[in-house]
């Protein structure tokens, strides 16, 4: 099928669906004009002075750079995180909202950038890798995460020579250790907030994909790479294989893996993800008029 035919075919599958499970990866964030792995205009403008001084190859390069002091590290963290808070909601996310507007929907995402939270209610999202809008204790000594927007803005207002002052370093109220962004690493807190997100996801699966349910479900995989396939990609393949009424759709910039065991129950649409979602929205809207 040509891409236009593929989009029309997927639109019909979504129209017939009782529910849509979205698997959102970093490619969707990139389609919105942002990127953690390459310099695109928005992020480069926000972080230009750090990029030039440290010779950073990407925004994530700066996130994992070995700085000489916490004051230098947190100057970068503060600017980087504020860029996420301030980033306008990407058009692909608005298009996605319209595509699934009439459906029961849930989002499983490995993204940490807070874009999905602009579009869908918290109860419909599982941030499996965390959310950069929160801090946690680096130990962690207790089970709580904290919205960081006020601390981040204060640090940004006080960056001097690519450093923040020592007194502005975010410290845990319980043990005094420096806090860290609530994103997946060796200190990641899989506490009550993370478990609640996983529980929401499992409840959605129980309702629409388990216990002999007779529901038509579309698994909509968007911009998911193969760095951590065990979170979205492989489970989506397994659910498609095991459930007669599940249909799998993989939308990505480039052609993705095409597993033999679900070749008759899936579609793979390669190309600019922003354009694909726009076309999909227009197709669904056109048929509903």
Structure confidence at residue 288 (pLDDT): 57
Structure confidence at residue 141 (pLDDT): 97
Structure confidence at residue 289 (pLDDT): 46
Structure confidence at residue 287 (pLDDT): 65
Decide: pTM greater than 0.75. yes
Structure confidence at residue 279 (pLDDT): 97
Spell out a b/e string for 259-286, using b for 16 or more CB atoms within 10 Å of the CB, else e: eeebeebbbbbebebbebbbbbbebbee
Backbone angles phi, psi at 199, to 5 degrees: -65, -40
What is each CA distance from 23 to 31, 83, 220, in whole angstroms? Answer: 15, 24, 6
Contact predicate 49/162, CB 8 Å? yes
Contact predicate 43/35, CB 8 Å? yes
Which runs of consecutive H residues, i.e. helices, occur in 110-191?
Answer: 116-119, 149-157
What is each CA distance from 142 to 160, 188, 230, in whole angstroms? Answer: 32, 12, 28
DSSP three-state, residue 131: strand
Per-residue pLDDT of the chain (289 residues; tens, 9 = 90+): 789 999 999 999 999 999 999 999 999 999 999 999 999 999 999 999 999 999 999 999 999 999 999 999 999 999 999 999 999 999 999 999 999 998 999 999 999 999 999 999 999 999 999 999 999 999 999 999 999 999 999 999 999 999 999 999 999 999 999 999 999 999 999 999 999 999 999 999 999 988 667 899 999 999 998 888 999 999 999 999 999 899 999 999 887 777 888 988 999 999 999 999 999 999 998 865 4
């Amino acid at each position: 099928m040509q891409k236009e035919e593929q989009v029309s075919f997927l639109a019909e599958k979504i129209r017939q669906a009782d529910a849509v499970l979205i698997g959102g990866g970093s490619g969707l964030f990139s389609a919105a004009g942002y990127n953690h792995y390459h310099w695109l205009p928005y992020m480069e403008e926000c972080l230009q002075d750090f990029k030039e001084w440290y010779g950073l190859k990407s925004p994530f390069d700066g996130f994992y750079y070995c700085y000489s002091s916490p004051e230098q590290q947190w100057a970068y963290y503060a600017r980087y995180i504020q860029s996420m808070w301030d980033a306008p909601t990407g058009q692909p996310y608005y298009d996605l909202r319209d595509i699934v507007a009439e459906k029961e929907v849930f989002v499983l995402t490995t993204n940490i950038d807070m874009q999905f939270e602009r579009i869908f209610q918290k109860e419909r999202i599982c941030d499996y890798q965390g959310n950069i809008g929160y801090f946690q204790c680096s130990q962690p000594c207790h089970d709580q995460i904290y919205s960081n927007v006020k601390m981040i803005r204060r640090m940004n207002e006080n960056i001097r020579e690519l450093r923040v002052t020592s007194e502005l370093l975010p410290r845990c109220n319980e043990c005094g250790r420096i806090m860290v962004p609530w994103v997946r690493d060796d200190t990641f807190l899989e506490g009550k907030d993370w478990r609640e997100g996983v529980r929401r996801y499992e409840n959605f699966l129980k309702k629409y994909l388990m216990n002999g349910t007779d529901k038509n479900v579309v698994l909509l995989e968007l911009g998911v790479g193969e760095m951590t396939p065990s979170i979205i990609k492989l489970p989506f393949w397994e659910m498609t294989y095991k459930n007669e009424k599940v249909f799998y759709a993989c939308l990505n910039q480039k052609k993705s893996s095409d597993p033999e065991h679900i070749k008759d129950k899936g579609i793979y649409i390669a190309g600019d993800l922003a354009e694909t979602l726009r076309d999909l929205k227009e197709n669904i809207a056109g048929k509903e008029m």
